[in-house]
């Protein structure tokens, strides 16, 4: 039975200059969460604050969300929210800033929660929006956290990543202005773009895929394959930046409703064990899983039809060629140099990937030995 679809929150803005929409958003206090210094250096943070101030809104900034945000960062942000008492929480940045801010929101609204485990296992999920609404302004074209119900947070002690998804965490407002993404360096453009492509392709073959998600995912995949090299080669090509941001968002609308597959299960695991960035892990692993999933006739048919839309016959080969164009390594060995350490963790990685929430919607559910073989194949090429 199909699950109910939810396409983004209450307000979805996209296209050049849509950042100015901030001036029409009713609120009194905005708590802005950012990652490093890029939004400050580019002037985007100042522009966001100026738009709020023009609307009579008081702002404060929480800076310093790290890649793969840790629970300690989430707790620190939630404590500052409790002091400031915002009625609007704003995530300005890439997936890490958006995931951290979403999770801070949960602990701000529910001060009785103190551990990561309490939220990971909460049933029912804590109700939000009693204190604040949530706005996302993405600076990358990849995670689609601005239209997603999901977050990934790392455990400080183990370093392991924990995924969590609930429609309560769907942002109320998403503002997708290509100007905000223009500061991305080429390697981040490549990695986040491949994350977006993985979202689209995995949504297409998800065992929850449906008529609407297929329309969204297919359009996104085609645009990403055709546009990502342009955005990679010229970061100031604003037409390419806009297409990539729109395609990333559209892929997000698809996957947040029908879920993903084992590319994400394995990339989450690779990131947890060896700190490989998520988009890079997705990009390297994707063609190997297309080959593996082609053992399912329905998935192979989907892949073949998408390949034909892209003027090819082999989707895995199309992805490999795209990776080559944008500087993505062909195998994990090029980024995890210690083969002995990798080999020693194969069984644990297989078990972790098997338990990942994305595995259950893959067209083929691998066994532990099959996951071991997939991790080996992705490593050696």
Residue boundaries of the structural domains of the chain: 11-180, 185-380
| pLDDT 10s digits, 360-376 | 999 999 999 999 999 99
Residues 292-348: pLDDT tens digits?
A: 999 999 999 999 999 999 999 999 999 999 999 999 999 999 999 999 999 999 999
pTM, whole model, 2 decimals? Answer: 0.94
Say yes or no to pLDDT of 224 above 90: yes
Task: Give the Cα separation of 318 and 22 in Å (integer).
Answer: 39
Instruction: Kindly state the percentage of the chain with pLDDT values over 90.
Output: 90
Output the CA torsion 260→214→95→46 (10° steps). -170
**By three-state DSSP, how is residue 271 classified?**
helix
Distances in Å between the Cα of 361 and the Cα atoms of 46, 209, 342 are 42, 9, 26
Give the domain 11-180 fold.
Rossmann fold (3.40.50)
The predicted pLDDT at position 99 comes to: 94
R_g of the chain, CA atoms, integer Å: 20
Mean pLDDT confidence for 164-175: 93
Of the pLDDT bands very low, low, confident and very high (cuts 50, 70, 90), residue 162 is: confident
Give φ, ψ of 339 to 5 degrees. -65, -35
Q: Which tokens is 168 given? A: 């309560």
- Percentage of the chain exceeding pLDDT 70: 100
Residue with token string 């998935």: 299
**Confidence tier at 1 by pLDDT (50, 70, 90):** low
Write down the number of H helices and E strands in the chain. Answer: 16, 8
Segment 231-245 mean pLDDT: 97
pLDDT of 161 > 90? The answer is: no
According to DSSP, the residues that pair with 174 across neighbouring strands are 12, 136
What are 9-31's pLDDT values in tens digits?
899 999 999 999 999 999 999 99
User: pLDDT category, 5, cuts 50, 70, 90?
Assistant: confident
Please provide the CATH number assigned to the domain covering 185-380. Answer: 1.20.1090.10
Over residues 241-245, the mean pLDDT reads 98
């Amino acid at each position: 039975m199909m699950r109910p679809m939810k396409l983004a929150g209450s307000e979805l803005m996209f296209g050049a200059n849509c950042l100015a929409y901030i001036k029409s958003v009713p609120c009194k206090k905005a708590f802005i969460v950012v990652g490093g210094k890029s939004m400050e250096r580019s002037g985007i943070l100042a522009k966001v604050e100026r738009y709020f101030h023009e609307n009579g809104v008081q702002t404060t900034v929480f800076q310093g969300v790290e890649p793969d945000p840790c629970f300690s960062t989430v707790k620190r942000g939630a404590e500052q929210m409790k002091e400031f008492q915002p009625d609007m929480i704003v995530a300005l940045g890439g997936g890490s800033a958006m995931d951290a801010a979403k999770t801070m929101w949960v602990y701000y609204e529910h001060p009785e929660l103190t551990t990561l485990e309490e939220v990971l296992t909460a049933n029912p999920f804590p109700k939000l929006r009693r204190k604040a609404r949530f706005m996302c302004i993405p600076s990358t074209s990849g995670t689609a956290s601005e239209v997603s119900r999901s977050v990934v947070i790392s455990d400080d002690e183990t370093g392991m990543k924990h995924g969590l998804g609930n429609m309560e965490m769907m942002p109320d407002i998403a503002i997708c202005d290509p100007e905000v993404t223009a500061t991305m360096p080429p390697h981040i453009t490549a990695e986040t773009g491949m994350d977006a492509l993985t979202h689209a392709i995995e949504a297409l073959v998800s065992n929850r895929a449906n008529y609407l998600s297929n329309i969204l995912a297919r359009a996104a995949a085609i645009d990403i394959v055709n546009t990502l090299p342009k955005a990679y080669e010229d970061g100031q090509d604003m037409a390419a930046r806009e297409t990539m941001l729109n395609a990333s968002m559209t892929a997000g609308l698809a996957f947040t409703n029908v879920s993903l597959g084992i590319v994400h299960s394995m990339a989450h695991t690779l990131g947890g064990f060896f700190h490989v960035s998520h988009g890079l892990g997705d990009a390297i692993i994707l063609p190997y899983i297309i080959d593996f999933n082609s053992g399912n006739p329905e998935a192979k048919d989907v892949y073949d039809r998408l390949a034909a839309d892209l003027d090819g016959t082999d989707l895995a080969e199309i992805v490999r060629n795209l990776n080559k164009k944008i500087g993505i390594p062909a195998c994990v060995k090029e980024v995890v140099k210690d083969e002995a350490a990798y080999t020693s963790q194969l069984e644990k990685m297989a078990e972790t990937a098997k338990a990942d929430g994305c595995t259950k919607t893959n067209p083929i559910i691998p066994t532990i030995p099959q996951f071991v073989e997939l991790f080996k194949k992705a490593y050696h090429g």
